[in-house]
């Protein structure tokens, strides 16, 4: 079948020019530029053969080399009227649309697109002549409206529309001469039913007319405003000239300040104050010191974001996902934050929630505040309170002082550019006070929801509404926060991370972050899990993960040096560094901390105590020696006053039960007691070592060894009662790390076992006790009487009581806590 020799109803083989954003209609004459090689080659082929070409639009204008799927199915067969070669490789071509055609198949894509096309016949539904004429008149009327709104439609186009009576041709002509998006033009081209085609075009003309009229209204409004501004400017210039002639110069600066005061959206009271200050400034000599003070004050009032607020965009599932992504663990903290967000969803104007995140350093308090701001869609500003001693830092200085400025709260709102930001008051427990005032007291008004809707900064001297501000505070301890300030906060406790927490944070977050930061990837550096545990155990002692991140960064630096120049003694395998527990010292040097391990055997007078520190739980061994002497009691190991009192209480209690354990009642007269806590350089205090001291003392006096796999915590009274303690989660983790099997704890702390890490609960046996005699029965080895000496009967009921308590503890904890004790 030769090219272009068949009847119009057969398949025709002809070159194709794909266009981008251009749709050609039958009967239309257009010109366009092209430079793609396939288009130029198709044009050259068409010029050699009857000058006809198939023009079809691309679905995506960004496609450089279209395939069959990138082209629409319907295009237009066109006659090439004129070709103009442009500088370079460009060509400008003038074509006239002949008839619609369907793209049947593509025969080739190189050197040009060659395709089989078939002419598309128009269809027309049967209808009365009246209906036909009504449709044509309606379309022409709509085009007249479009031409009126457009304003510059050529007269020949309008006359051609008026003279056209064929429905299909009218639709094509109107569509080709109005501004339509390419998808709408293609939809008109693909419509075979001429009635539907004209109806479609009529709807598009009506839409475009409405858009044009609306655009014209906007243009007229803008022009009217511009005319008014130009008129005002002209009058002001005239007034300025007249004022200059009369020596009454009008200061441009004052005009600008007045305009800014009007535009800043301040409340009426503030606006009136600004205008009074501007009037005052106008009467002052230029360059005077007082004028500078007034000008700075005016600027401070204008710069406040009086009418700028952000809308809370709270999505609880998204917020939960964000918190889980950015923070590992801390389920209670996340639940409390999500509860707070849920309440704000129901009550958007809720005020009075001041949350204090309290926990040791490095556990993520500041980053949680950032996440809360993201969840709420609010601006975030951090305000550090550490070391602030001057009340004026919070409430501002009075204008009468040189260098006066607003307080930190007002400055934070300016920085946020919003009247309802989230302001983080960081390190609230480190506020100081001196002769310049108490900054903690200055915060009372700002954090009180009943008063902060009219907060008065000393510099601003005007009521400022802080009720929309969401305040979050952080602290390492609550002890140094004044009670009045603490009473305004709802405290959320963040405990220190356990060993497993640190491992998961390092593996899922810190390692990736540091490897990327140091220009590497997992193909160049691999840190094994055992190496991470080694870093945690032997190179860090902290509650958070800051030092852990620094150690990981040190590993990355060492690895980077090895990758670049091979220096450092680091072994590379296939261009990759593998960090394991065995080669960890090559990266970080000798181990900084020794592992916490239990003693090799049971010893007399040595008891495993459990302590809480700011860097987590620690196992602390207490040693007691009973020496011949005069009854002197010596306490060493940097013990605080509370811990010394606990030691005195333990001695008194042991004296009261000495007879039951075959101890001389006069040991307080003929024995010197020395109680020592290991790691003497570390200060220690608190009452929770009471049972530990009592057990160590009883062991030293009775000669009964203490079980090495037992650790204990609890406060003791004179009557031997065991009172509850804090930090159980951290203390049990320390026992787990050291290889302890049984943990003795106060009975009132038994409900707290639910908060302990599941892995720890499975590995340890827990013995809740209410009396010290139960501790002695569980922790001390059975008494071994000398030959011929009979054990006192009084001791047996005590042992039985401890056994019953152990059975009760096993019943509470269930089978997950091991065998019965």
Pairing mode of beta strands 765-769, 742-746: parallel
**How buried is residue 192: exposed, middle or buried, by Cβ count under 10 Å (0-12/13-18/19+)?**
middle
Nearest to 745 by CA among 603, 605, 609, 597: 609
Q: How far is CA 566 from CA 309, 328, 348, 561, 563, in A?
A: 56, 36, 60, 7, 6
Pairing mode of beta strands 742-746, 52-57: unpaired
- φ, ψ for residue 756 (rounded to 5)? -75, 150
Catalytic residue among 688, 699, 702, 805: 688
Q: Do residues 525 and 564 lie in contact, with contact meaning Cβ atoms separated by under 8 Å?
A: no
SS (H, E, C) 312-370: CCCCHHHHHHHHHHHCCCCHHHHHHHHHHHHHHHHCCCCCCCCEEEECCCCCCHHHHHH
SS (H, E, C) 428-458: HHHCCCECCECHHHHHHHHCCCCCHHHEECC
Task: Provide the CB-side half-sphere exposure for 90 (13 A, CA).
Answer: 7
Residue 243 falls in the annotated catalytic set: no
| Strand locations in 109-179 (E) | 113-119
Tell which phi-psi region holds residue 720, choosing left (phi > 0), alpha (psi between -120 and 50) or beta. left
Q: What does the DSSP assignment read for 470-537?
A: EEEEEES-STTS-HHHHTTSEEEE-PPPPHHHHHHHIIIIIHHHHHHHTT--TTTEEE-HHHHHHHHH
Residues with Cβ within 8 Å of 242's Cβ and at least 6 positions away in sequence, in order, are none
Q: Do residues 428 and 444 lie in contact, with contact meaning Cβ atoms separated by under 8 Å?
A: no
N- to C-terminal Cα distance for the chain? Answer: 99
Cis peptide before 111 (omega within 30 of 0): yes
| Cβ neighbours, 10 Å, residue 233 | 10
Q: Do residues 419 and 465 lie in contact, with contact meaning Cβ atoms separated by under 8 Å?
A: yes
Residue 770 falls in the annotated catalytic set: no
Q: Tell me how far apart the alpha carbons of residues 137 and 134 are, in angstroms, rounded to a whole number.
A: 5
**How buried is residue 819: exposed, middle or buried, by Cβ count under 10 Å (0-12/13-18/19+)?**
exposed
| Strand locations in 520-641 (E) | 525-527, 577-579, 603-604, 606-613, 616-628, 633-636
Q: Do residues 712 and 743 lie in contact, with contact meaning Cβ atoms separated by under 8 Å?
A: yes
Q: Tell me how far apart the alpha carbons of residues 497 and 737 are, in angstroms, rounded to a whole number.
A: 13
Largest Cα–Cα separation, the chain: 136
Q: Tell me how far apart the alpha carbons of residues 652 and 39 are, in angstroms, rounded to a whole number.
A: 104
Exposure class string for 245-271: b at 16+ Cβ within 10 A, else e? eeeeeeeeeeeebeebbeebebeeebb
DSSP helix/strand/coil, 83: strand
H-type alpha helices, 703-794: 728-738, 758-763, 772-779
Catalytic residue among 365, 379, 731, 805: 731
Q: Do residues 526 and 515 lie in contact, with contact meaning Cβ atoms separated by under 8 Å?
A: no
Q: Containing H/E element for 268?
A: helix 268-282
Active site residues: 688, 731
């Amino acid at each position: 079948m030769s090219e272009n020799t068949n009847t119009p109803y057969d398949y025709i083989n002809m070159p194709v020019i794909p266009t981008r954003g251009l749709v050609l209609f039958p009967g239309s004459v257009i010109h366009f530029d092209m430079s793609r090689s396939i288009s130029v080659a198709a044009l050259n082929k068409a010029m050699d053969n009857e000058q006809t070409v198939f023009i079809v639009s691309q679905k995506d204008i960004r496609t450089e080399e279209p395939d069959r799927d990138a082209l629409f199915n319907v295009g237009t067969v066109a006659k090439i009227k004129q070709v103009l070669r442009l500088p370079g490789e460009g060509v400008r071509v003038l074509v006239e649309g002949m008839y619609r055609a369907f793209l049947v198949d593509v025969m080739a894509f190189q050197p040009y697109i060659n395709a089989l096309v078939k002419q598309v016949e128009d269809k027309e539904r049967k209808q009365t002549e009246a209906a036909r004429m009504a449709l044509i008149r309606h379309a022409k009327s709509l085009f007249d409206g479009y031409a009126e709104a457009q304003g510059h439609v050529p007269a020949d186009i309008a006359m051609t529309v008026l003279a056209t009576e064929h429905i299909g041709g009218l639709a094509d002509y109107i569509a080709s001469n109005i501004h339509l998006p390419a998808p709408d033009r293609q939809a008109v081209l693909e419509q075979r039913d001429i009635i539907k085609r004209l109806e479609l075009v009529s709807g598009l003309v009506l839409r475009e007319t409405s858009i044009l009229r609306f655009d014209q209204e906007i243009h007229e409004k803008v022009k009217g405003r511009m005319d008014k501004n130009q008129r005002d400017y002209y009058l002001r210039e005239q007034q300025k000239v007249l004022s200059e002639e009369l020596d009454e110069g009008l200061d441009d600066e004052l005009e600008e300040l007045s305009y800014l005061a009007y535009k800043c959206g301040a409340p009426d009271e503030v606006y009136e104050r600004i205008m009074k200050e501007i009037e005052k400034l106008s009467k002052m000599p230029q360059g005077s010191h007082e004028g500078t003070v007034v000008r700075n004050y005016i600027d401070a009032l204008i710069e406040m974001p009086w009418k700028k607020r952000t809308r809370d965009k709270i999505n609880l599932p998204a917020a939960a996902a964000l918190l889980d992504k950015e923070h590992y663990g801390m389920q209670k903290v996340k639940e409390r934050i999500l509860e707070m967000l849920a309440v704000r969803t129901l009550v958007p104007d809720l005020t009075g929630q001041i949350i204090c995140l309290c926990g040791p350093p490095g556990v993520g308090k500041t980053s949680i505040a950032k996440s809360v701001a993201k969840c709420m869609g609010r601006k975030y500003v951090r305000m550090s309170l550490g070391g602030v001693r001057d009340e004026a830092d919070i409430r501002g200085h009075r204008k009468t002082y040189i260098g006066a400025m607003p307080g930190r709260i007002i400055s934070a709102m300016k920085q946020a550019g919003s009247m309802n930001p989230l302001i983080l008051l960081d390190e609230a427990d480190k506020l100081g006070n001196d002769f310049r005032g108490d900054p903690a007291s200055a915060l009372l008004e700002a954090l009180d929801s009943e008063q902060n809707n009219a907060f008065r900064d000393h510099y601003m001297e005007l009521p400022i509404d802080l009720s929309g501000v969401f305040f979050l505070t952080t602290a390492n301890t609550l002890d140094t926060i004044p009670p009045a300030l603490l009473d305004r906060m709802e405290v959320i406790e963040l405990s220190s991370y356990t060993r497993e927490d640190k491992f998961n944070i390092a593996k899922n977050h810190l390692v990736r972050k540091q490897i990327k930061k140091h220009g590497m990837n997992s193909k160049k550096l691999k840190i094994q899990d055992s190496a991470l545990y080694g870093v945690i155990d032997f190179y860090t002692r902290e509650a958070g993960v800051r030092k852990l991140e620094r150690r990981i960064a040190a590993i990355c630096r060492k690895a980077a040096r090895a990758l670049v120049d091979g220096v450092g003694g680091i072994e590379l395998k296939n261009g990759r560094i593998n960090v394991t527990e065995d080669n960890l010292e090559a990266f970080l040097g000798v181990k900084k901390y020794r592992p916490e391990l239990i003693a090799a055997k049971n010893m007399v007078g040595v008891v495993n105590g459990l302590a809480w520190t700011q860097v987590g739980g620690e196992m602390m061994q207490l040693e007691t020696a009973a020496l011949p002497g005069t009854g002197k009691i010596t306490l060493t190991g940097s013990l605080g006053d509370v811990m010394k009192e606990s030691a005195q209480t333990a001695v008194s209690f042991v004296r009261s039960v000495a007879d039951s354990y075959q101890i001389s009642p006069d040991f307080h007269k003929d024995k010197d007691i020395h109680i020592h806590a290991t790691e003497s350089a570390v200060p220690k205090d608190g009452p929770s070592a009471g049972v530990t001291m009592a057990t160590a003392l009883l062991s030293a006096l009775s000669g009964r060894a203490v079980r090495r796999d037992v650790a204990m915590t609890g406060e003791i009274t004179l009557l031997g009662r065991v009172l509850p303690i804090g930090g159980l989660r951290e203390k049990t983790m320390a026992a787990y790390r050291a290889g302890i099997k049984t943990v003795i704890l106060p009975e009132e702390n038994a409900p707290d076992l639910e908060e302990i890490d599941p892995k720890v609960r499975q590995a340890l046996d827990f013995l809740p006790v209410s009396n010290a005699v139960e501790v002695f029965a569980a922790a001390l080895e059975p008494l071994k009487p000398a030959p011929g000496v009979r054990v006192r009967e009084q001791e047996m009921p005590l042992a039985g009581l401890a056994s019953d308590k152990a059975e009760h503890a096993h019943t509470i904890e269930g089978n997950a806590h091991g065998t019965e004790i």
